[in-house]
Amino acid sequence: MAENKNAQQVREITDKLEQGIKELFESERFKEYLRTMSKFYNYSFNNTLLIAMQKPDATLIAGYTSWQRNFARHVLKGEKGIKILAPAPYKATMEMEKIDPQTQKPILDADGKPVTETVEVMRPAFKVVSVFDVSQTDGKELPDIVVDELTGSVENYAAFFEALTQISPVPIAFEDISGGAKGYYHLEDRRIAIQKGMSEIQTIKTAIHEIAHAKLHAINPDEKAAPEDRKDRHTKEVEAESVAYTVCQRYGIETSDYSFGYIAGWSSDKETKELKGSLETIRSTAAEMIESIDGKLKVLLAEKAQEQTVEVEVEAKPVYHDVPVYRETANYAYEAGELDAYRTSRDANMACKEAIEAAISENYVDYRLSTRVAVETVLEQFPEERVQYVLANTVQHNLHDGRYHAENKDWAETISVCEENSDAFIVSQVHPGLVNLFINQFKDLLPDKSQEQIEAGTTPTLEKNAASKPRLTPDERKIRDAVMDTLKARIAYSNDGMMSTVKVSAQSQKIMAQHKIKIDGNTVIQNGEPMFAIHRRYSSRKTQGCYRELTPTLEYIKQEKAQEAKPEKPSIREQLKSAAKAQPERKAPVKEKKHDMGLE
């Protein structure tokens, strides 16, 4: 009964489709379109297969000069041509028996032998030529009757799309498709590609269209079917889009304008020959897909409802207190056999970031943040070390932001954070000022929570990190990064020899030379003085018979020189006063009196 109802609905929808296409054919817009489309050549089955294998998203194909001469468009520089076979017959001479035009019998000579003559004949042959798709050209716009891309959402989109992936005979994947195509069915790889980033309606319609291709038009290149049994590309596109329109209509997804224009664009005459000749195929395929989608969708929606019920009943948040913070890179984790620890810690970092954002949002009421409650909420799920790690990473990525206090920036820089994947756990969905308040409260609460550790003789995390990691100057950070870059290249060469692809960057070499840095064994030296100690590490298991060296760590060991306190330089006036006091007092010379009595 349900099957008959589906078949009846499908017939009504396809009748509506046929009428809509017929009305569109009467428009001037379509006549202009046909005039242009008539300049494109139809390709043989073999060439159609060659085009599909080389560029499955191709739509309109023409030769290099044809694009210039017929369409005022030119092929873009660097585009690769699509190789097809073109007829290239050639003339040849051959000896043939001379035929009497009246009797249609060979003419015989005096000896009774057939008389021969030299004639010129055309020998069939083919050559390889290059053609290009419209997406590989630029120039005058071609007339188009297809409306703009579909927009809008689909009810239960995720379950609907999952149902389509389950009924599809080939895998479906999202890609960034060049050239403007919404999707394509790859004949050779037997897979469906769909343009990512489209609306829900456009994505669903395109998926159904390509599934119809996969069901109806899958081709085995080795098959020996007769040419008349092979459908041309016009018919295939009309069938696929008609199925997509019919199935979408059945589920209340409106695609009329888009589908009518699409189908008319692929049709070649006003009688809709392709559509009429394929109506039964379209109807049976659409009915089969609707029945399959109904079955899958029913199961998926039931599972979704059950999952939602379970989520409502169980609101307990996962706890990560037993997950240690992993501070190494993925490459190190792979070589050390610790990928599980790396991934678990990475996931915990992202969960902690989300928990901090949620706690701040939930406890920010009337322009006031209940910081203590927010911090305690997060600490119920995560250990202090993880919260500190995520907060420090957030501040380190925002050192330019004045909404974070200077003391919090200094605090964050004392905590070592692995840069790999650090972008994934930055607290970014709440106001930085609120995050700054959260950090203040976290630092205030931490000593209270760590008092038992202090009494037990252990050092709290914050104090240990602050004491163990000195603050480097900007130049010292550059030197550290350049040294690590150099060490990675040397270790890669030591592990892999000539097969190594890791090279020292020119910038690192320049920094090493500029600051007079040398690597001597396990010590980094600057101007003859030790600067960093190299702590080398090796994998816990052998690879190709030896233990591979892993990425080392650097320990800052440079001795800080106590700078002698230089007295402040006195002002010029004070210097003059001091100089004046230091000089001996000068007395005016005593003039000798001459007692000239006028006597000689």
Start-to-end C-alpha separation, the chain? 167
User: Per-residue pLDDT tens for 261-283?
Assistant: 777 666 655 555 666 667 778 87
Sorting pLDDT into bands at 50, 70 and 90, what band is 386?
very high
Regarding whether 290 and 157 lie in a shared domain, the answer is: yes
Beta bridge partners of 364: 369
Domain extent at residue 399? 330-468
Strands 172-175 and 191-195: parallel
Q: What are the structure tokens assigned to 443, written together? A: 């630092």
**45 within some domain:** no
- Residue 421 to residue 330: CA distance in whole angstroms: 9
Between CA 324 and CA 383 the distance in angstroms is 9
Q: How many domains does the chain have?
A: 4
Residues 22 and 164 in one domain: yes
Considering only CA atoms, which of 254, 285, 253, 237 is closest in space to residue 160? 253
Query: By mean pLDDT, which of 44-58, 164-178, 381-395 is the weakest?
Result: 44-58
Residue 409 lies in a domain: yes
Instruction: Categorize the per-residue pLDDT at 475 as very low, low, confident or very high, splitting at 50, 70 and 90.
Output: confident
- If asked whether residues 275 and 414 sit together in one domain, one would say no
Closest CA to 21 of 145, 190, 179: 145
DSSP, residue by residue, 517-539? EEEETTEEEETTEEEEEEEEEEE
| Contact in structure between 395 and 425 (CB atoms under 8 Å) | no
Domain membership of residue 589 (yes or no) is no
Helix axes of 371-381 and 432-449: crossing angle, nearest 10 degrees: 70
Claim to verify: residue 159 and residue 238 sit in the same structural domain: yes
Task: Please compute Rg for the chain using Cα positions.
Answer: 41
Claim to verify: residue 270 and residue 335 sit in the same structural domain: no
Q: Are residues 385 and 525 both part of a single domain?
A: no
**Is residue 304 one of the residues assigned to a domain?**
no
Q: Which residue from 240, 169, 174 is spatially nearest to 205, judged by alpha carbons? A: 240
- φ, ψ of residue 329 to 5 degrees: the values are -80, 165
Shared domain check, 483 and 419 = no
Beta bridge partners of 91: 122
Average pLDDT, the chain: 78
Query: Looking at residue 224, what is its pLDDT?
Result: 46
Q: Give the closest residue to 72 by CA, choosing from 137, 146, 133.
A: 137
Q: Are residues 278 and 367 in the same domain?
A: no
3-state SS class at 585: coil
The answer to whether 241 and 261 are in contact (CB under 8 A) is no
Question: Is residue 479 in a domain?
Answer: yes
- Residue finishing a domain among 421, 440, 468: 468
Q: Which two tokens stand for residue 545?
A: 């018979």
Interval 497-516: pLDDT, tens: 777 777 888 888 999 999 99
Around Cβ 10, how many Cβ atoms within 10 Å? 24
Residue 383 lies in a domain: yes
Q: Domain boundary at 435, 468, 501, which?
A: 468
What's the 3-state SS for 223-260? Answer: CCCCHHHCCCHHHHHHHHHHHHHHHHHHCCCCCHHHHH
- Which pLDDT belongs to residue 564? 41
Examine the fold and report which residue of 443, 468, 493 is the final residue of a domain before the chain moves on.
468
pLDDT at 458: 43
55-81 pLDDT, tens digit each:
877 878 888 998 998 888 999 999 999
Angle between helices 200-216 and 233-250 (to 10 degrees): 130
- Percentage with pLDDT > 70 across the chain: 76
DSSP state of 136: G
Q: Both 436 and 484 in a single domain? A: no
What length is written for the chain?
A: 600
For residues 312-322, b (16+ Cβ closer than 10 Å) or e, as one string?
Answer: eeeeeeeebee
Specify which residues 128 forms β-bridges with.
85
The two three-digit tokens of residue 556, written as one number: 């800052």
Token pair belonging to 543: 């690879």
The verdict on 288 and 221 lying in the same domain is: yes
Is 51 inside a domain boundary? no
- Output phi, psi for 291, to 5 deg: -65, -40
Same domain, 479 and 393: no
> What sign results for the dihedral spanned by CA atoms 288, 291, 295, 298?
positive
- Model confidence at 372, pLDDT cuts 50, 70, 90, reads confident
- 250, 284: one domain: yes
pLDDT at 186: 85
The pTM is what?
Answer: 0.40
Query: So what's the pLDDT on residue 74?
Result: 92
238 pLDDT band, cuts 50/70/90, is confident
Domain assignment present for residue 421? The answer is yes
